[in-house]
Amino acid sequence: MADKTTLLDAAGKVAFVTGATGGIGNACVAMFLAAGASVVATGRRAVANDDPRVLKLALEATDEAQVIDAFAKTKARFGTIDYLVHMAGMVGKGRLNEMSLADWHTVVDTNLTSAFLLMKHAYPLLRKPGSAVVLCGSSNGANGGSYLSGAAYATSKAALVNLTRYTAKEWAPDGIRVNILSPGPVDTPMLDRLSETQHDGLKAQLPLGKYATADECAGGVMFLCSAHAASMTGTNMNISSGLVLDR
Ligand SMILES: NC(=O)c1ccc[n+]([C@@H]2O[C@H](COP(=O)([O-])OP(=O)(O)OC[C@H]3O[C@@H](n4cnc5c(N)ncnc54)[C@H](OP(=O)(O)O)[C@@H]3O)[C@@H](O)[C@H]2O)c1
């Protein structure tokens, strides 16, 4: 750490970020760059960032061959990964009895199976003391969620918490820490699907009365990757404006 007030000193480090075309992932890329890291920024759409320290990769995170290829390209360019930050995710919608099996699989694969694939294939590059993984949960994974995001979303986000705990234990002897960030509503394109009435209803449930910002979430990721969190693994960081309090 450069000094005791620096959140993250990532000079010489490499961050691999999924969901970099989305609100929170994009904020993570910007903060890693500001902290001095090189970044592998991935999304299904093209990543808009021309910083020479950014390796931009198209990645469908549910496709094992693409995941393997992305890490091969990362190894060829940077040789290692210090931080794996998995922000890619999607919501479902509707009541359980209205959800198709295909939609269930799509949401679970996108949120949960992707994490398995990314962690499995990143492991050889991550395996050294000081590495950190941050997954992305949701308040839905703690409070059960609702039809606004659907059962597969709430279920997959809850399962990611246990994947975090499992790998935190399994990978601790390697020196790899694994934590998860669980936001409540965040002001990103993911919420564009909601009507004004639904926004009002959601905000009314938040004791702080405000959505979190993508930068607040990225700040949490920086903290979890930093030396300040050197004794934290298997934890679930709650950024829900007070929506979830009873875990
Ligand atoms: N916004 C919220 O209210 C909120 C609340 C709690 C948790 N979260 C979680 O926060 C994370 C980031 O969401 P966000 O708010 O930044 O939403 P966002 O702006 O909609 O971004 C979602 C990102 O996920 C990527 N993605 C989706 N499916 C993918 C797939 N199959 N393969 C690869 N990438 C995929 C998207 O890539 P492309 O656009 O390139 O397809 C995009 O970069 C998600 O895990 C989400 O569940 C968000």
Q: Whose CA is nearest to atom 7 of ligand 1?
A: 138
Q: Does the C-beta of 188 come closer than 6 Å to ligand 1?
A: yes
- Residues 6 or more apart whose CB falls under 8 angstroms from that of 46 comprise 21, 56, 58
Q: Would the CB of 23 count as within 6 Å of ligand 1?
A: yes
Reported as a single tens digit per residue, the pLDDT across 47-94 is: 999 999 999 999 999 999 999 999 999 999 999 999 999 999 999 999
Residue 244 domain-assigned (yes or no): no
Q: What is the CATH number of the domain that holds 151?
A: 3.40.50.720
pLDDT of residue 215: 98
* Structural domain boundaries, residue 190: 14-237
Ligand 1: which atom is nearest the Cα of residue 217?
Answer: 10
Structural domain count, the chain:
1
Q: Please write the tens of the pLDDT for every residue from 152-210.
A: 999 999 999 999 999 999 999 999 999 999 999 999 999 999 999 999 999 999 999 99
Q: Does 46 sit in the ligand 1 pocket, CB within 6 Å?
A: no
Residue 247, in any domain of the structure: no
Is 83 considered catalytic here?
A: no
Q: What is the chain's mean pLDDT, rounded? A: 97
Those residues with Cβ within 8 angstroms of residue 28's Cβ, 6 or more apart along the chain or in another chain: 15, 17, 20, 85, 87, 217, 218, 221, 222
C-beta 62 within 6 A of ligand 1: yes
- Which residue has 């004004």 as its token pair? 196
